Structure 1
Amino acid sequence: MPATKQKRPLGVQISHMLKDRGVDVIFGIPGVHNQEMYRGIEEAGITHVLARHEQGAGFMADGYARATGRPGVAYVITGPGLCNIMTPMGQAYSDSVPLLVISSCLDETSARRGQLHQMRDQRLAGATVCDWSEEVRTADAAYRMIDRALVEFATERRRPKHLSVTISALEGEAEAFAPGQGDVPATSAAPSAGLAAIDAVARQLSQAQRPLLVFGGGAVHAAEAARAVLASLGAASFATYAGRGIVAPEDPLYLGSYLARPGSAEVFASADCLLFVGTDLAEVDLWRTDPGHGAPAIIVNTDPEVLADGRTGDTRLRMDAGDFLAALADRLEGATASSWTGAEVADLRRAWKGEVSAEYPGIVPVCEALKAALPEGAMVYSDMTQIAYTATEVWDMDRPGHWHHPYGFGTLGYALPAGIGGAVARPGQPTVVIAGDYGFQYTIQELAVAVELGLTLPIILWDNDKLKQIEDSMVRAQIAPNAVTQKNPDFAKLAEAYGAGYAQPASLDEIGPVLAEALTAGRPTIIRLTPAITA
Structure 2
Amino acid sequence: MDTGCGHAGRPAGTADGICPVHTQFLEGVTQLTTLGTDIAGYLKKQGVDVVFGIPGVHNVELYRGLEAAGITHVLARHEQGAGFMADGYARATGKPGVAFVITGPGVTNIMTPMGQAYSDSVPMLVISSCLPPEDDMPGRLHQMRDQVGAGACVCDWSQLASDAQRALELLDRAFAEFKSERRRPKHMTVPIDVLAGPGWQGHRAATPKPPVTADVSSDLQALADQLDRSSRPLFIFGGGAKAAWRDGREVLERSGGAAFVTYAGRGVIDSAHAMNFGPGLARSGSVDVLKRADLVIVVGSELAEVDIWRSHLGHEATLARIDIDPDVVADAHGAQIRIVARAEDALRELKGMIAVSTPKWDQDYIREKRAAFRSETDTDRPGIVPFVDAMAGVLPPDIQIFSDMTQFAYVAKETYPLSAPGLWHHPYGFGTLGYALPAAVGACLGASGEPVVAIAGDYGFQYTLQELGVAAELALPLVLVLWDNGRLKEIEDCMVRSQIRPNAVVAQNPDFSLLAASYGIAYEKADAPDAFAGRLAEALKRAGPTMIHVGPAESRH
Shorter chain as normaliser: what TM range? Answer: over 0.9
Q: 2:276 aligns with which of 251, 254, 258?
A: 254
Matches within 5 A, 1:1-12: 8-12=33-37
Cα deviation per residue 1:197-222 (whole Å; 9 max; x = unaligned)? 21111110111111100000001011
Runs of 5+ consecutive residues of structure 1 not aligned to the other structure: 1-5
How far off its partner does 1:378 sit?
A: 0.6
- CA change 1:326–1:179 in 2 (3 A) is farther
Report whether the alignment pairs 1:451 with 2:476: no
Deviates more, 1:256-265 or 1:54-63: 256-265
Cα deviation per residue 1:19-59 (whole Å; 9 max; x = unaligned)? 11111100000000000111111111000000000000000
Helix, strand or coil at the partner of 1:243:
coil
Q: Distance in 1 between matches of 2:92 and 2:347?
A: 23
How far off its partner does 1:271 sit?
A: 0.9
Q: 1:482 aligns with which of 489, 503, 508?
A: 503
- Partner residue, 2:15: none
Matches within 5 A, 1:14-33: 14-33=39-58
Residue type of the partner of 1:488? Answer: N
Residue type of the partner of 1:434? Answer: I
Runs of 5+ consecutive residues of structure 2 not aligned to the other structure: 1-30
How far off its partner does 1:67 sit?
A: 0.6
Report whether the alignment pairs 1:348 with 2:373: no
Contact 2:392 2:416 in 1 (8 A): yes
- CA change 1:180–1:457 in 2 (3 A) is farther
Matches within 5 A, 1:493-532: 493-532=514-553
- Partner residue, 1:320: 342
Helix, strand or coil at the partner of 1:458:
strand
Matches within 5 A, 1:380-459: 380-459=401-480
Contact 1:234 1:336 in 2 (8 A): yes
Q: 1:60 aligns with which of 78, 81, 85?
A: 85
Q: 1:137 aligns with which of 137, 157, 162?
A: 162
- Partner residue, 2:238: 216
Report whether the alignment pairs 1:190 with 2:213: yes
Q: Distance in 1 between matches of 2:127 and 2:38?
A: 13
Contact 2:114 2:154 in 1 (8 A): yes
Q: Distance in 2 between matches of 1:22 and 1:430?
A: 23
- Partner residue, 1:230: 252
Contact 1:75 1:102 in 2 (8 A): yes
Q: TM-score, normalised by structure 2?
A: 0.91
- Partner residue, 2:25: none
How far off its partner does 1:376 sit?
A: 2.8
Residue type of the partner of 1:441? Answer: Q
Report whether the alignment pairs 1:467 with 2:488: yes
- Partner residue, 1:3: none
Helix, strand or coil at the partner of 1:174:
coil
- Partner residue, 2:112: 87
Q: TM-score, normalised by structure 1?
A: 0.95
How far off its partner does 1:337 sit?
A: 4.4
How far off its partner does 1:510 sit?
A: 2.4
Q: Percent identity?
A: 52
Q: Distance in 2 between matches of 1:52 and 1:491?
A: 19
How far off its partner does 1:469 sit?
A: 0.3
- Partner residue, 1:242: 264
Report whether the alignment pairs 1:364 with 2:388: no
Residue type of the partner of 2:282? Answer: A
Contact 1:126 1:133 in 2 (8 A): yes
- Partner residue, 1:300: 322
Residue type of the partner of 1:525? Answer: T
Q: Distance in 2 between matches of 1:318 and 1:216?
A: 15
Q: 2:144 aligns with which of 107, 115, 119?
A: 119
Contact 1:13 1:177 in 2 (8 A): no
How far off its partner does 1:336 sit?
A: 3.8
Deviates more, 1:260-269 or 1:164-173: 260-269
How far off its partner does 1:533 sit?
A: 8.5
How far off its partner does 1:427 sit?
A: 2.0
Q: Distance in 1 between matches of 2:75 and 2:235?
A: 43
Q: Distance in 1 between matches of 2:202 and 2:356?
A: 53
- CA change 1:59–1:107 in 2 (3 A) is same
How far off its partner does 1:14 sit?
A: 0.6
Residue type of the partner of 1:308? Answer: A
Q: Distance in 2 between matches of 1:14 and 1:163?
A: 12
- CA change 1:333–1:442 in 2 (3 A) is same
Deviates more, 1:168-177 or 1:149-158: 168-177
Contact 1:506 1:533 in 2 (8 A): no
Cα deviation per residue 1:135-180 (whole Å; 9 max; x = unaligned)? 1121111011011000011100011000000000011122348898
Contact 2:59 2:128 in 1 (8 A): yes
Contact 1:367 1:395 in 2 (8 A): yes
Residue type of the partner of 2:322? Answer: V
CA RMSD in angstroms, aligned pairs only: 2.0
